[in-house]
């Protein structure tokens, strides 16, 4: 029942919707007769027909999709025959196909290319899909059939994947509240509806604030230190806002901002940093403090209703970490060495400032600027020297695609004739070794005001033998788009991100499961980042790097000494990077290990955040959390609540796996085939750590991570 599972995730992220037919406008009534979602797409791999989709199509499609699924569920729940796997679980998996088609497209565009109409639909109607999901999961007759199959699952003639599917459905129903009283179910539905609405509001507030908070600069002199290309981008951003003659520095949805590494004007650096850190907490229509405190309180209440001490305990039960204690122990063990490294790095930066004759006291807005100076002195290069060698198309085709070919035998063919939702989006058909078609890959790499921050992968269509579908997978980045005619030159971090997100895409492409429930990246949250983090290793693998790191004008390869310096800096600034990440992870846990009574009110958000960071030992003024609470989209609107620790948890598996690849010859087809067959192809059909053990041949070892991050 992929669509129901997708709907559950969407509701948790605040992106769910549907409305009553009586509220359809004239355009939507007309869209009922020619709606591209009403039938499976005729395009290759069922790619959504973006050229035929109009905003007016969404409401009718959601309405009909929900009605169809409810009818399908009623037929299952009301059947007179005793429950069997074939008459209960299989129909559940196959229900909601129309709903799945419209949801996958709508939610993707709500993140990648939204507009006022989409925002209005999402914000107004978010509670409706949450209610739709509850109607299914709280159906007593349906649960009785699932429970009966669960209790006799060992006696049924089922293969391992089918038996696991029964078990997973049973747990989903129980965790949704299927065992609650009628009054409890009613309260659960109210909580879920309110959370969906709040999450949607949070998302919109963050996007609106990040656009409204772009820093406007009056003179070119203030931009001293930025490259000509980056200055040109600020001119283009100003023109897009009708601010001719001025310069605009857009903000990313992180605490730190890219311009801080180069701007010489300390006052401007401070203004950018303070603006970034204050987002969504300054009063006014975009203030998220009341939103997050109400969400935290409702999540805690819901967990208590289901028998858990807090929301974190509820979430972690289904992750590989399993318990709050395990996550707390891991984060607590990493924080002291990370902070110690950050303090040593801060001393180096302070010394650099003093050596230049500056008597400043190091502040958060100075960190990136002096980090680049220390890097240049220590390794005789700065990060800007790399950009001419990282032209985006070259990185993608001769780096990311090249590594996938060497490791897995994949080939890629551009399909420019296929429709896309924005002119910046491109499509490739992916072929397996031997030429068999595998799926479609969409690349959407440029930032724009209609796109949320960050980088992510999503699947428009997931692989399933039951549904006879193949993957349609998209990667999204937020690379600033240069002026027309200028090359897109990436930072080293953006290169790494491109490899990372394609690791998620590979997880989707290599899925080889029967049931859509388990397809692709449908794995625990603290396991899903692991394969993508492993794929980052190929960005600096010598054979791959030599193939893509060439000067965009001369075609000359990156000099060997510059490459050596890049590799030598892998542990550079890791104290800062680890501390800012851990601070955000610890904030996530602090919010979600509260009871409902312990959650502060909106006015107490800043004090709560400061106290939580102090208690965890990561309260450094020079190193703010990567995300502060009020714009922490991962945990309030993107499904990572109590789960932001997942990146470091997954990195333990990643670092250990990188050692395996090195021990076994690196970029070899045999290694790729082993990783694919034992792990990437299995999706969620097998317990996550069992997949790791099947690949690695041992339990995870934390030591490679400690060495990588300089924490040993």
| Catalytic residue IDs | 501
> Which two tokens mark 712?
């040993």
With H, G, I as helix, E, B as strand and everything else as coil, classify residue 254. Answer: coil
Burial class (CB in 10 A: 0-12, 13-18, 19+), 290: middle
Report the candidate in 480, 272, 264 with the shortest Cα–Cα distance to residue 372. 264
Report the candidate in 520, 575, 514, 592 with the shortest Cα–Cα distance to residue 709. 575
Cα–Cα dist 372/395, whole Å: 23
Torsions phi, psi for 53 (to 5 deg)? -85, 130
Query: How far lies 45's CA from each of 140, 175, 429, 468, 479, in Å?
Result: 37, 34, 10, 10, 28
Rounded to a whole number of angstroms, the distance between the first and last alpha carbons of the chain is: 45
Helix axes 58-77, 116-137, angle to 10 degrees: 0
> Which two tokens mark 613?
């960071």
DSSP codes joined into one string, 4-18: HHHHHHHHHTT----
Give me the helices (H) in 177-265, please: 182-212, 228-240
User: What is the rounded radius of gyration, in angstroms, for the C-alpha atoms of the chain?
Assistant: 25
With H, G, I as helix, E, B as strand and everything else as coil, classify residue 261. Answer: helix
Residue 536 is classified by DSSP as: G
Torsions phi, psi for 260 (to 5 deg)? -65, -20
Query: How far lies 690's CA from each of 4, 464, 677, 678, 679, in Å?
Result: 26, 22, 13, 10, 9
> What residue has token string 């030599």?
546
Query: How far lies 339's CA from each of 261, 573, 583, in Å?
Result: 21, 11, 10
Task: Tell me how many degrees the CA angle 667-531-467 measures, rounded to the nearest 5.
Answer: 110
Report the candidate in 287, 201, 288 with the shortest Cα–Cα distance to residue 14. 201
Cα–Cα dist 251/256, whole Å: 9
> Which two tokens mark 545?
């790097």
DSSP codes joined into one string, 51-63: GG--GGGHHHHHH
Q: b/e per residue, 381-391, with b = 16+ CB within 10 A? A: bbbbebbbbbb
With H, G, I as helix, E, B as strand and everything else as coil, classify residue 589. Answer: helix
CA 296 to chain centre: 21
Report the candidate in 272, 310, 358, 304 with the shortest Cα–Cα distance to residue 624. 272
Cα–Cα dist 544/542, whole Å: 5
């Amino acid at each position: 029942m992929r669509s129901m599972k997708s709907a559950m995730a969407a509701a948790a992220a605040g992106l769910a919707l549907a409305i009553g037919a009586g509220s359809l406008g004239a355009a939507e009534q007309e869209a009922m007769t020619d709606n591209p979602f009403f039938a499976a797409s005729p395009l290759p791999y069922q790619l959504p027909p973006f050229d035929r989709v109009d905003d007016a199509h969404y409401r009718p499609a959601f309405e009909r999709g929900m009605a169809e699924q409810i009818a399908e569920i009623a037929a299952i729940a009301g059947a007179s025959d005793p429950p069997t796997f074939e008459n209960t679980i299989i129909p559940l998996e196959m229900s909601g196909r129309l709903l799945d088609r419209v949801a996958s497209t709508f939610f993707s565009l709500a993140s990648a290319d939204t507009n006022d109409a989409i925002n209005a639909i999402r914000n107004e109607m978010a509670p409706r899909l949450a209610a739709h999901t509850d109607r299914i999961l709280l159906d007593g007759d349906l649960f009785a059939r699932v429970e009966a199959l669960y209790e006799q699952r060992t006696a049924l003639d089922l293969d391992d994947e089918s038996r696991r599917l029964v078990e997973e459905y049973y747990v989903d129903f129980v965790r949704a509240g299927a065992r609650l009283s009628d009054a409890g179910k009613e309260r659960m539905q109210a909580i879920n509806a309110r959370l969906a609405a709040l999450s949607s509001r949070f998302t919109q507030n963050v996007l609106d604030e990040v656009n409204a908070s772009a820093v406007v600069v009056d003179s070119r002199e203030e931009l001293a230190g930025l490259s000509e290309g980056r200055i040109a981008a600020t001119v283009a951003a100003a023109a897009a806002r009708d601010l001719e003659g001025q310069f605009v520095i857009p903000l990313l949805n992180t605490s730190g901002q890219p311009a801080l590494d180069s701007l010489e004007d300390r006052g401007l650096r401070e203004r950018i940093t303070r603006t970034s850190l204050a987002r969504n907490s300054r009063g006014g229509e975009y203030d998220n403090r009341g939103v997050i405190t109400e969400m935290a309180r409702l999540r805690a209440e819901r967990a208590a209703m289901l028998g858990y001490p807090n929301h974190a305990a509820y979430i972690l039960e289904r992750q590989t970490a399993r318990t709050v204690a395990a996550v707390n122990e891991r984060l607590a063990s990493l924080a002291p060495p990370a902070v110690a490294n950050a303090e040593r790095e801060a001393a180096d930066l302070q010394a650099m400032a003093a050596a230049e004759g500056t008597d400043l006291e190091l502040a958060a807005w100075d960190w990136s600027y002096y980090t680049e100076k220390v890097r240049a002195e220590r390794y005789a290069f700065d990060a800007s020297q790399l950009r001419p060698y990282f032209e985006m198309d070259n990185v993608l085709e001769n780096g990311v695609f090249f590594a996938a070919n060497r490791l897995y035998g994949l080939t890629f063919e551009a399909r420019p004739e296929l429709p896309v939702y924005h002119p910046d989006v491109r499509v490739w058909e992916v072929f397996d070794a031997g030429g068999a078609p595998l799926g479609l890959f969409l690349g959407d790499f440029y930032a724009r005001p209609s796109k949320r921050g960050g980088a992510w992968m999503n699947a428009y269509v997931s692989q399933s033998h039951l549904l006879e579908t193949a993957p349609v997978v998209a990667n999204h980045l937020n690379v600033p788009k240069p002026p027309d005619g200028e090359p897109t030159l990436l930072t080293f971090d953006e290169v790494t991100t491109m490899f990372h997100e394609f690791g998620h895409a590979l997880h989707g492409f290599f899925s080889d499961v029967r049931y859509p429930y388990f397809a692709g990246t449908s794995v625990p949250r603290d396991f899903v980042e692991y394969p993508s983090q492993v794929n980052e290793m190929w960005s600096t693998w010598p054979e791959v790097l030599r193939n893509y790191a060439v000067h965009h004008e001369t075609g000359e390869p990156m000099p060997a000494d510059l490459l050596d310096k890049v590799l030598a800096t892998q542990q550079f600034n890791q104290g800062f990077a680890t501390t800012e990440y851990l601070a955000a992870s610890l904030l996530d846990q602090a919010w979600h290990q509260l009871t409902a009574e312990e959650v502060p009110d909106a006015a107490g958000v800043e004090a709560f955040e400061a106290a939580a960071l102090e208690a965890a030992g990561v309260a450094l003024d020079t190193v703010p959390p990567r995300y502060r609470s009020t714009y922490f989209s991962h945990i309030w609107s993107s499904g990572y609540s109590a789960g932001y620790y997942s990146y470091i948890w997954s990195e333990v598996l990643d670092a250990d796996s990188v050692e395996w690849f090195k021990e076994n010859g690196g970029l070899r087809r045999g290694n790729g085939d082993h990783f694919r067959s034992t792990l990437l192809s299995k999706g969620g059909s097998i317990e996550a750590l069992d997949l790791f053990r099947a690949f690695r041949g041992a339990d995870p070892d934390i030591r490679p991570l400690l060495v990588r991050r300089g924490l040993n």
